[in-house]
Amino acid sequence: MKRFLPLGIVVFLVAVFLGMMLSDRNPNEIDSVLIGRPAPAFSIDSLSADTPPLTEADLKTGEPVLVNFFASWCVPCRAEHDSLMELAGRYRVPLIGIAYKNDPAKAVGFLNELGNPFSKTGLDLDGRVGIDWGVSGVPETFLIDGSGVIRYRHWGPIVGDSLEARLLPELEALR
Amino acid sequence: MAGEIGHFALILALFFALTGAVMPHVGAYRKDTRLMALGDRAVYAQFLMAATAFGTLTYAFVTSDFSVINVATNSHTLKPMLYKISGVWGNHEGSLLFWVLNLTLFGALVSWRGSKLPLQFRGRVLAVQSLLVLGFLMFILFTSNPFERLDPAPIEGNGLNPLLQDPGLAFHPPMLYLGYVGLSVAFSFAVAALIEGEVTPLWARWVRPWALLAWVFLTGGIALGSWWAYYELGWGGWWFWDPVENASFMPWLAAAALLHSAIVVEKRDALKSWTILLAIVAFSLSLLGTFLVRSGVITSVHAFATDPARGIFILAFLALVVGGSLTLYAWRAPKMAPSGLFGFVSRESALVVNNIFLSTFAAVVLVGTLYPLFVEAFGAGQITVGPPFFEYAAAVLMSPLIVALGLGPLLAWKRGNIGRAAQIVIPALVVAAVAGVVLVWQTSGGFVMTAFGLGLAAWLIASVLLEIASRIRLFAAPGKAMTGLKKITRAQWGMSMAHAGLAVILLGITISEAFTSEKLVVMAPGDTADVAGYSFTFEGVAPVAGPNFTAVRGFFTVREGDAILTSLTPEDRVYANPPMNTTEAAIYPLFSGDLYAVVGEAAGAGRWSVRLYFKPMISAIWLGALMMMIGGILSLSDTRLRIGLPTGKKQAQKPSAKAAPKTGPKTVQGARA
């Protein structure tokens, strides 16, 4: 039976490869280790000077919240902005924006130009919050449940079918 | 117009491939020699058509014909001519066309050089080769047509990835492809032998030069790639066990094993089914590499832009080719009983040891490369397998191989004469020594490993020299040494050269790993940093403009004592099309090692972060690879490898000429009739 061994290995490999290719995955994406854990603590200035600082307490509202890391210099952020507007408008999801390594004036300009989907927006000037949250680039969107625990992380822009296929089902599961 | 000619040529090639893949088998079935001989015509026609297609694509790149999508996405008028040409194979579609060109080239070469092969066998070989061409052509025409048009044509192209705009990388992929595709010949020979149901010593004699040629190209391709990583990527290393590096290394290991096991088939008519399996596996690993790079299953710096349809197609092709050949293997392997025997202590046994370690290493590299994929596939999270794993495996598996490599050539064929006790003691000793060293290494750090590595390199070089000395009877009859030296055949010189090359590589790795000095500092103009006794003075930076990039160039003056040795000018380049940042390390090779400087980011106030290295003996890695290649070419140029040449007196006296080609060609046909 030994002579069938190489064939068996190849059949197994092909099956695994096929499974990987048919599954909806991005090989560049690295899973977040924060899933199921409380959101890391932070306290940062708000984008508008007249509102109090943004902290992790703002996430514990008793209902699911989305935290979106964005920047005016980030082209994919521009691409996903319509999805964010739709989430805030049509699906009535509270969104919290964190401007990542972004000049405040430019971040304000970005939101003025495209519309502001965020109920609150914080400033992560030196990217420290991004490090704590394990952000590898912008945009990234985290789904937080009512008690402040991270339930899902969307890597990269919410474009194409990823709003309907990925983010909304996760959101529905929490609601 | 040119694009349409190329496209049409590919379609014609497809039909020639179909003819070539089917007709020789029909001919063999009907015992019709004219149909069998159609294989030869078909491969020449395929080559002609593939060359036409490749020529037209090259023409489109050279003339910057942006109405061809492939040219528009991968070229730019401002690109230097060398990179316009290398851009032809620097992208997915063009590289596939290059694959096909090589496949057909090798098919044509087999037909041209193999006029002494039995017609039916040659027909089968060419039919298998044509089948591979057919698969690749379908892949090109259905999913990756390089001649697709763009209307309206853009004024300017997007440009080639700047990392690829480098002389080393202009030639790294073609060499690797030649190696990968060269293994297709060994594969076709193996499958043809399985269909015919017989492997003879003569078969091994035919297949070995092709395997050797492919191995030489793979060696060159891998060496160029690592050299490029060393001076272009600017991280000071030269090998990262990246999945795609591994994908090129596995076929190399398998080809190296195949070269050696084919010798045993040739000399002793043993290891037959193993050698067939190796020939299949070596080419399958080449295909696997292609699949991994183009399917998007894994991430790598080398990966092409991915497209699921392409991935599925290659996977189907891979499953068909590899699965089909292995099914044939499982069916036919029992027929291949060895007829020759050899003693436990013999050159053949040493070659078996070589095969065990090389193929185990290839298997370990395969598992390490795919393991993250398996873990993810079975939902156990994401992991990466990094250099520590592979380095550990290399140390454990390659050390005994090198010990055996030193001994092997000293042993006689068939039955050696180390005492009976030594037979048992030596392998045990080796295993014990390696285990001991690895244990000490784990507990007390790298120093032991350095000593061990140097010891192994010395052992290997010494045994290579001893082997030559014993061959010319230097100690027994010193007076006749010169005549003895002249009698050494090129194949033997080739073997010694390649083995010594491995020792030189080992020397380079061990010394550069152990004694590299590295400094990561922030320097202002006028600052001096000492690295390994050399003082690097930072003179400042200046902007530079290239043909299609702008750069910041750093200036260093390197002194040894008070004498100025050289100045180093590393660059940090920003390419315009596409926008991308690359580092150009500045390297000054000395006899004792390389001075290596990289300029990084501005640290404010006129200061720059720089990395300075002294890497002793690192050039030995590529020197050794070059020696291996020269060894391979020497062995290839040995006239004894050619079929059909009259055997000289010298060889006739040796047992190695047992499978003399004169009576040979009839064996395959004769045994079948």
Which residues of A fall within a CB distance of 8 Å from B318?
A: 14
Query: Is A27 within 8 Å of B312 when comparing Cβ atoms?
Result: no
Does B577 fall in a domain?
Answer: yes
Does B272 fall in a domain?
Answer: yes
* Cα distance between residue B245 and residue B239, in whole Å: 8
Is there a single domain that holds both residue B35 and residue B102? yes
Query: Is A27 within 8 Å of B297 when comparing Cβ atoms?
Result: yes
Is there a single domain that holds both residue B111 and residue B51? yes
Higher pLDDT, B232 or B22: B22
pLDDT, residue B431, reads 62
* Cα distance between residue B462 and residue A4, in whole Å: 42
pLDDT, residue B178, reads 93
Structural domain boundaries in chain A: 30-174
pLDDT, residue B429, reads 63
Mean pLDDT of B569-581: 82
Query: Is B273 within 8 Å of A3 when comparing Cβ atoms?
Result: yes
Does B472 fall in a domain?
Answer: no
Query: Is A16 within 8 Å of B377 when comparing Cβ atoms?
Result: yes
pLDDT, residue B470, reads 79
Query: Is A14 within 8 Å of B318 when comparing Cβ atoms?
Result: yes
The domain total for chain B is: 3
Does B499 fall in a domain?
Answer: no
Which residues of A fall within a CB distance of 8 Å from B330?
A: 3-4, 6-7
CB-based contact (8 Å) between B299 and chain A?
yes
Task: Work out the minimum CA distance from A96 to partner chain B, whole angstroms.
Answer: 29
Cβ-proximal residues to B301 (8 Å cutoff; 6+ apart), any chain: B242, B244
**Host domain of residue B175:** 166-336
Does B483 fall in a domain?
Answer: no
pLDDT, residue B668, reads 37
Which residues of A fall within a CB distance of 8 Å from B296?
A: 21, 27
CA closest to A2 among chain B residues: B330
Place of tokens 């007076």: B479
Query: Is A3 within 8 Å of B333 when comparing Cβ atoms?
Result: yes
* Cα distance between residue A152 and residue A166, in whole Å: 10
Is there a single domain that holds both residue B38 and residue B72? yes
Is there a single domain that holds both residue B153 and residue B178? no
Mean pLDDT of chain B: 84
Which residues of A fall within a CB distance of 8 Å from B277?
A: 6
Q: Nearest by CB to A4, from B319, B330, B381: name it.
A: B330
CA closest to B336 among chain A residues: A3
Query: Is B281 within 8 Å of A20 when comparing Cβ atoms?
Result: no
Q: Which residues make beta-bridge pairs with B580? A: B575
pLDDT, residue A97, reads 93
pLDDT, residue B667, reads 37
Which of the listed residues B309, B336, B363 is the one where a domain comes to its end?
Answer: B336
Locate B282 and state its tokens. 């070596």
- Give backbone dihedrals phi and psi of B397, rounded to 5 degrees, phi first: -90, -30
Higher pLDDT, A1 or B226: B226
Residue A170 pLDDT > 60: yes
Is there a single domain that holds both residue B184 and residue B325? yes
CB-based contact (8 Å) between B334 and chain A?
yes
Tally of residues, chain B: 673
Does B487 fall in a domain?
Answer: no
pLDDT, residue B164, reads 74
CB B7 within 8 A of CB B147: yes
Which residues of A fall within a CB distance of 8 Å from B299?
A: 27-28
Is there a single domain that holds both residue B173 and residue B314? yes
Is there a single domain that holds both residue B531 and residue B563? yes
Query: Is B296 within 8 Å of A27 when comparing Cβ atoms?
Result: yes
Which residues of B fall within a CB distance of 8 Å from A10?
A: 284, 319, 322-323, 326
pLDDT, residue B188, reads 96
- Using one digit for the tens of pLDDT, what is the confidence trace for B256-278? 999 999 988 888 888 888 999 99
Best probe of the B interface among A1, A2, A4, A10, by most B CBs < 10 A, is A10
Q: Which residues make beta-bridge pairs with A150? A: A144
pLDDT, residue B663, reads 37
Q: Characterize the bridge pairing of strands A54-55 and A43-44.
A: antiparallel
CB-based contact (8 Å) between B327 and chain A?
yes
Best probe of the B interface among A1, A7, A26, by most B CBs < 10 A, is A7
Residue A92 falls in which region: left (phi positive, over 0), alpha (psi -120 to 50) or beta: left
Which secondary structure element, helix H or strand E, spans residue B543, and what is its range? strand B534-545
Tally of residues, chain A: 175
CB-based contact (8 Å) between B326 and chain A?
yes
Architecture of domain A30-174: 3-Layer(aba) Sandwich (3.40)
Is there a single domain that holds both residue B91 and residue B104? yes
Q: Characterize the bridge pairing of strands A140-144 and A65-70.
A: antiparallel
Residue B644 pLDDT > 60: no
Query: Is A31 within 8 Å of B381 when comparing Cβ atoms?
Result: yes
- Using one digit for the tens of pLDDT, what is the confidence trace for B16-49? 999 999 999 999 999 999 999 999 999 999 999 9
Mean pLDDT of B646-673: 38
Which of the listed residues B164, B199, B216 is the one where a domain comes to its end?
Answer: B164
Query: Is A21 within 8 Å of B319 when comparing Cβ atoms?
Result: no
Mean pLDDT of B236-250: 86
Chain A interface, Cβ < 8 Å to B: 3-4, 6-7, 10-11, 13-14, 16-21, 25, 27-28, 30-31
Instruction: Read off the amino acid at residue B458.
Output: A
Q: Nearest by CB to B327, from A7, A16, A31: name it.
A: A7
* Cα distance between residue A162 and residue B189, in whole Å: 49
Which residues of A fall within a CB distance of 8 Å from B194?
A: none
pLDDT, residue B462, reads 83
Which of the listed residues B311, B336, B361 is the one where a domain comes to its end?
Answer: B336
Which residues of B fall within a CB distance of 8 Å from A32?
A: none
Instruction: Return contacts of B366-374, CB within 8 angstroms, 24+ apart.
Output: B366/B246, B366/B250, B366/B285, B368/B241, B368/B246, B368/B393, B369/B243, B369/B246, B369/B247, B369/B250, B369/B292, B369/B298, B370/A13, B370/A16, B372/B298, B373/A16, B373/A17, B373/A20, B373/B297, B373/B298, B374/A16
CB-based contact (8 Å) between B383 and chain A?
no
- Using one digit for the tens of pLDDT, what is the confidence trace for B137-165? 999 999 889 998 888 888 888 877 777 77
pLDDT, residue B645, reads 40
CB B537 within 8 A of CB B528: yes
Locate B328 and state its tokens. 């044939």
Which residues of A fall within a CB distance of 8 Å from B284?
A: 10
Q: Nearest by CB to A6, from B277, B291, B297: name it.
A: B277
pLDDT, residue B277, reads 93
- Using one digit for the tens of pLDDT, what is the confidence trace for B51-104? 999 999 999 999 999 999 889 888 888 888 888 998 898 888 999 999 999 999
Task: Work out the minimum CA distance from B323 to partner chain A, whole angstroms.
Answer: 6
**What sign does the CA torsion over B116, B117, B122, B126 have?**
negative
Query: Is B326 within 8 Å of A7 when comparing Cβ atoms?
Result: yes
Task: Work out the minimum CA distance from B381 to partner chain A, whole angstroms.
Answer: 8
- Using one digit for the tens of pLDDT, what is the confidence trace for B274-330? 999 999 999 999 998 888 877 767 765 555 555 677 888 888 999 999 999 999 999
Is there a single domain that holds both residue B141 and residue B29? yes
CA closest to B374 among chain A residues: A16
CB-based contact (8 Å) between B671 and chain A?
no
Query: Is B329 within 8 Å of A3 when comparing Cβ atoms?
Result: yes
CB B43 within 8 A of CB B111: yes
Q: Is the ipTM of this complex over 0.95?
A: no
CB-based contact (8 Å) between B163 and chain A?
no
Query: Is B319 within 8 Å of A27 when comparing Cβ atoms?
Result: no
Cβ-proximal residues to B222 (8 Å cutoff; 6+ apart), any chain: B176, B245, B248, B249, B252, B625
Does B160 fall in a domain?
Answer: yes
User: 3-class SS at B226?
Assistant: helix
Task: Work out the minimum CA distance from B473 to partner chain A, whole angstroms.
Answer: 45
Query: Is B373 within 8 Å of A16 when comparing Cβ atoms?
Result: yes
Mean pLDDT of B543-567: 88
Name the pLDDT band for B189 (thresholds 50, 70, 90): very high
Q: Nearest by CB to B374, from A4, A10, A16: name it.
A: A16
Does B244 fall in a domain?
Answer: yes
* Cα distance between residue A110 and residue A73, in whole Å: 9
pLDDT, residue B446, reads 67
- Give backbone dihedrals phi and psi of A69, rounded to 5 degrees, phi first: -85, 125
Is there a single domain that holds both residue B151 and residue B174? no
Name the pLDDT band for B640 (thresholds 50, 70, 90): low
Is there a single domain that holds both residue B528 and residue B542? yes
Name the pLDDT band for B634 (thresholds 50, 70, 90): very high
Residue B210 pLDDT > 60: yes
Name the pLDDT band for A164 (thresholds 50, 70, 90): confident
Locate B340 and state its tokens. 């020759």
CB-based contact (8 Å) between B330 and chain A?
yes
CB-based contact (8 Å) between B309 and chain A?
no
CA closest to A10 among chain B residues: B323
CA angle B529, B534, B539 (to 5 degrees): 50
Residue B467 pLDDT > 70: yes
Which residues of B fall within a CB distance of 8 Å from A17?
A: 291, 295, 297, 315, 373
Mean pLDDT of A164-171: 86
* Cα distance between residue B134 and residue B127, in whole Å: 10
Residue B511 pLDDT > 70: yes
CB-based contact (8 Å) between B329 and chain A?
yes
pLDDT, residue B300, reads 57
Query: Is A13 within 8 Å of B298 when comparing Cβ atoms?
Result: no
Query: Is B319 within 8 Å of A20 when comparing Cβ atoms?
Result: no
| Range in A94-98, A128-132, B122-126, B417-421 with the lowest mean pLDDT | B417-421
Cis link prior to B152 (omega < 30° from 0)?
yes
Cβ-proximal residues to B76 (8 Å cutoff; 6+ apart), any chain: B64, B156, B157, B158, B159, B160, B548, B577
pLDDT, residue B649, reads 39
Residue A135 pLDDT > 50: yes
Task: Work out the minimum CA distance from A146 to partner chain B, whole angstroms.
Answer: 26
CB-based contact (8 Å) between B281 and chain A?
yes
Locate A44 and state its tokens. 């940062």
Locate B90 and state its tokens. 């620097």
Name the pLDDT band for A28 (thresholds 50, 70, 90): low
Query: Is B319 within 8 Å of A30 when comparing Cβ atoms?
Result: no
* Rounded percentage of chain B residues whose pLDDT exceeds 70: 88
Is there a single domain that holds both residue B201 and residue B245? yes
